Chains A and B, each alone.
Chain A
Amino acid sequence: MKYLLIGNSTAAIACIEAIRTLDKQGEITVLSKEEQFCYGRPTISYCLAGLTDREHMNYRPLDFYEKMGVSVHLGVSAESIDADKKQVKASDGKKYSYDKLLVSTGSRPFVPFAEGLDKVKNAFTFMSYDDMEALDKALSPEKEVVVIGAGLIGLKCVEGIFDRVKKVTVVDLATRVMPSVTEEESAAMIQSFLEKKGVEFVLGDCAASYTENSVTLKSGKTLSFDILVTAAGVRANTSLIADIGGKVNRGILVNTRQQTSIPDIYAAGDCTEGYDSSIGADRVLALMPNAYLQGKTAGLNMAGGDSEYKDAIPLNAVGFFGLHMLSAGVYEGEIIKVKDENKLKLLFVKDNVLKGFILINDFLRAGIYTSLVRGKTPLDGVDFDMLVEAPQLLAFPAEARAAKLSRRA
């Protein structure tokens, strides 16, 4: 069996690990546009801040490919797929054939067009190791930075660079920070914490035009900068599949077995749109745990197994300067709120299940909540008051608890 994987990040690594549980012999080949050994993509902000270093960013041990018997081609992009011949044409001029193909091409930064953007000299995005290196070289204590985008990636970038520059201002069209994972109160708490740190925000506004060193916003306000970072969202890399007539929406469409609409081609990770059980519909879930589980499912099926990934939910753990927010699921239904000075717990309950939660600085054992959300556990079967107080296994009936404590799954 010949496996070919496009992309060399979380989804691809998970796929390799899964294939090797079932097939020790098959030939595995990886094509990677990026030149680095696989690294933890989210660690780029930690590296800028000095919270990790380049030597520790490898996502797997350095003998991973060797041990797994994988041939990796770093710096080689897949350019097109020939699904009839089962071949992929790559940037090194070679053609790679496959029996089973994984597309795990991730996403790319979305840079909204505004007049004059091409004149900005020190413009960066923040998605890759190369982006990190470029930004690292540009940072210095006298510089002012404007970050476009108050989403997770924009704010992680802020944390990464904050202590290394003079000033950071974040601009977002949305009226609250991290709009896709917060609601009003949690967003306000995070924003005010970051403001106290010295980060400035201009929300509900967006770039109208740029000069080399400034941006004028829709409101008329002008901000000058030495460095511009655009982190205004991402777009899934779907073209390899779209180009050959495969089904694509905002991501490559996949079923719960991670199959695309084209035979023997699977897709996993940020490039896909798959089933999100928290909303009961397909959507892009551009998150690490999801990329891993999709990649794993794809790998098992590619190697002849039978696996479905049916319980995907949004999951987010994000921290800034010591503040931590953990969240999961969707924010619908009755809200149970526990608030303290710098802590917040919001639980969302509907139809006898925990639909989602947001925890700020009060997150010990949060995975017990996550398991309730993921498993859609009926709340009348557990001691929910106890769970509101703190996530604990004691809140489960004796039998369920015993199963949990002895079970290995």
Chain B
Amino acid sequence: MKRIYVNEQWCLGCHLCEYECMYANSGLDEMFKLKGKAGKDILPRIYVEGGEKSPIHFAVNCRHCSGTACVNGCIAGALTKNDDGMVVIDKDKCVGCFTCVLLCPFGAIMPAADGKAAQKCMLCTDNIKGEPNCVKYCPNNAIVYEERE
């Protein structure tokens, strides 16, 4: 399946992907409307590592990995790997125990803004964008969406 991969050497650490992620999942019609909401009412599912002083940056989101530690440990059966190989969360089943946060070796699943359920990247299949918005708007090709088996 197509997955998101990182080109660390090209990442500026601009955090644009985080905003594109929040925007894609916000349902808002204009990105600027995130103002005041970003990081508070809505949290990104992709996370850029490396602070201002760091020479290295890269963005991390769900690897849709084959170990699926999160799926294995989920106490509610809220996480599943679908037939395409994508790991999906059913937020109506999630009870917010955060066992998945404890298990994901990439730190790629996190509480949603309300703190009551987990959220994770589903490659924008769960919003109107249909394919990864973060990748689409990364100006540096620091994240790519491709098939690599």
Q: Is A363 a contact partner of B76 (Cβ separation < 8 A)?
A: no
In the assembled complex, which residues on chain B have CB atoms less than 8 Å from the CB atom of A402? Answer: 8
What is the 8 Å Cβ interface bit string for chain A, positions 316-339, against chain B (1 contact, 0 not)?
111100101010100000000000
Q: Is A326 a contact partner of B102 (Cβ separation < 8 A)?
A: yes
A51's partner among B67, B95, B115 (CB-CB below 8 A) is B95
In Å, the complex CA distance between A121 and B100 comes to: 39
A326-B60 CB under 8 A given contacts A56-B92, A370-B105: no
By secondary structure, the A interface counts as mixed
What is the 8 Å Cβ interface bit string for chain A, positions 53-66, against chain B (1 contact, 0 not)?
00011111100000
Q: Is A56 a contact partner of B107 (Cβ separation < 8 A)?
A: no
Q: Is A288 a contact partner of B6 (Cβ separation < 8 A)?
A: no
A370's partner among B93, B97, B102, B116 (CB-CB below 8 A) is B102
In the assembled complex, which residues on chain A have CB atoms less than 8 Å from the CB atom of B104? Answer: 365, 367
Nearest chain A residue, comparing its CB with the CB of B1: A408
In the assembled complex, which residues on chain A have CB atoms less than 8 Å from the CB atom of B8? Answer: 401-402, 405
A367-B101 CB under 8 A given contacts A51-B95, A405-B6: yes
In the assembled complex, which residues on chain B have CB atoms less than 8 Å from the CB atom of A364? Answer: 101, 107, 110-111
A391-B97 CB under 8 A given contacts A405-B6, A409-B67: no
Number of A-B residue pairs, CB cutoff 8 Å, is 134
Categorize the interface residue count of chain A. 35 or more
Nearest chain B residue, comparing its CB with the CB of A392: B49
What is the 8 Å Cβ interface bit string for chain B, positions 79-117, against chain A (1 contact, 0 not)?
010000000000011011111111111110111000110
Q: Is A52 a contact partner of B93 (Cβ separation < 8 A)?
A: yes
In Å, the complex CA distance between A40 and B110 comes to: 20
A406 at the interface (CB under 8 A from B): yes
- Closest approach, in angstroms, between the C-beta of B15 and any C-beta of chain A? 15
In Å, the complex CA distance between A316 and B97 comes to: 10
In the assembled complex, which residues on chain B have CB atoms less than 8 Å from the CB atom of A46? Answer: 76, 95
- Closest approach, in angstroms, between the C-beta of B92 and any C-beta of chain A? 6
In the assembled complex, which residues on chain A have CB atoms less than 8 Å from the CB atom of B99? Answer: 288-289, 315, 317
Nearest chain B residue, comparing its CB with the CB of A316: B102
Q: Is A367 a contact partner of B69 (Cβ separation < 8 A)?
A: yes
A293's partner among B6, B72, B77, B148 (CB-CB below 8 A) is B72
In the assembled complex, which residues on chain B have CB atoms less than 8 Å from the CB atom of A391? Answer: 107
What is the 8 Å Cβ interface bit string for chain A, positions 74-104, against chain B (1 contact, 0 not)?
0000000000000000000000000000000
In Å, the complex CA distance between A189 and B45 comes to: 30
Nearest chain A residue, comparing its CB with the CB of B148: A406
User: Which residues of A approach B to under 8 Å, CB–CB?
Assistant: 14, 40-43, 46, 51-52, 56-61, 288-289, 292-293, 296, 315-319, 322, 324, 326, 328, 363-368, 370-371, 391-394, 401-402, 404-409
Other than the given A59-B76, A288-B73, A370-B102, 10 more pairs (CB < 8 A) read: A14-B72, A46-B76, A57-B76, A289-B72, A317-B102, A322-B115, A363-B101, A404-B105, A405-B5, A405-B106
